[in-house]
Amino acid sequence: MATPQLEFESDVASRIYRYVERHGAADPEEVREQVRVSESAESKPARSGTEPSVRLPVGEFNAHVERLTDEGHLTERDGKLAVEPDAETERHETDDFAYEIRPARESDRETVARLIRAVAAEGAIVVDERVADAIERDDALIRRNERESRMVFVAEKLGDETEREDGENGNKADEVDREIVGWVYLQGFELPARDHTAELTVGVAPEYRERGIGGTLLERGMAWADAEDCRKVYQSLPATNDEALELLEEHGWSREATRADHYKIEGELVDEVQMAERLDGE
């Protein structure tokens, strides 16, 4: 999954984007405070320790932000600037409830990591522990820069509508209860020899399986990888993870190789199965 080729109209716009991207989400005033310019020429970035620096004038800063949002680099949500890819939310139905597949937001990070760890604790999934570590260690859930491309979609169960009161004006509005019940995670690589590949992991909370959610998440992740010009998506799993292996094979994935006794699960040595799907027709 090739890393994006980012282009900005100015160095200041680039610095605004990179600060937000690195932190996942940031208050606009925080960004304006950190992305400073030289006092003598406000359009030039300040060089630390060499000359006084000032914040961008509000109007100029807002103009940069507006351009970045118009170009799809940034979005504004809940009063913060964030990097959210331009991807649609899809609604799906099961026999019991409706759910949406949507791009993960920075506010989902702890919930997604917690769900990954809960699924990994079942013992069948190993690699996802590393994914959870990366999510918790990094400052941002979604990464999109010249060295790294990382995307996460979540499945969000829609509950019943409840009525809430708007504290400002006393009006009442409907609010839908929501619960994240699954994820698909794609990690691209910056190494030139592997920039045509992406590693994928997918999982669903135990109580919501056998409803097609895992397959829908997998298809959404593969569609994203294809749109990003990825040629091959892969995942490595313990041979004991029959449910995940069956899901991947049902969606056209192939077994590329097996590494004997590669995992130790509950004291037992378990083979690793390397799965992959090509997106270039090869």
Question: What is the predicted pLDDT for the residue at 88?
Answer: 87
Residue at 208 is within a domain: yes
| Pair type for strands 143-144 and 268-278 | unpaired
Residue at 23 is within a domain: yes
Residue at 256 is within a domain: yes
Answer for the pair 10, 43: CB distance below 8 angstroms, yes or no: yes
Residue at 6 is within a domain: no
Task: Specify whether 104 is located in the same domain as 78.
Answer: no
Task: Specify whether 103 is located in the same domain as 57.
Answer: no
Task: Specify whether 15 is located in the same domain as 58.
Answer: yes
Residue at 4 is within a domain: no
Distances (CA, A) of 18 to 137, 148, 151: 18, 12, 17
**Facing residues of 268 across strands?**
265
DSSP category for residue 45: B
Average pLDDT over residues 130-150: 83
Residue at 5 is within a domain: no
- Round the average pLDDT of the chain to a whole number and report it: 85
Task: Specify whether 97 is located in the same domain as 213.
Answer: yes
Q: Over the stretch 42-72, which tens digit does the pLDDT of each residue have?
A: 556 665 555 558 889 999 999 999 999 998 8
**Facing residues of 200 across strands?**
186
pLDDT for 178 beyond 80? yes
pLDDT for 166 beyond 90? no
* Counted domains in the chain: 2
Average pLDDT over residues 197-213: 93
Task: Specify whether 42 is located in the same domain as 161.
Answer: no
More confident residue, 191 or 150: 150
Rounded to whole angstroms, the Cα distance separating 120 from 118 reads: 5
Q: Over the stretch 82-98, which tens digit does the pLDDT of each residue have?
A: 987 778 899 999 999 99
Domain holding 206, by residue range, is 90-278
pLDDT for 194 beyond 90? no
Question: What is the predicted pLDDT for the residue at 127?
Answer: 64
pLDDT band at 161 (very low <50, low <70, confident <90, very high): low
Domain end among 50, 82, 114: 82
Task: Specify whether 191 is located in the same domain as 219.
Answer: yes
pLDDT for 175 beyond 80? no
Q: What is the dihedral of CA 141, 145, 148, 152, to 10 degrees?
A: 30
pLDDT band at 173 (very low <50, low <70, confident <90, very high): very low
The CATH code of the domain that includes 175 is 3.40.630.30
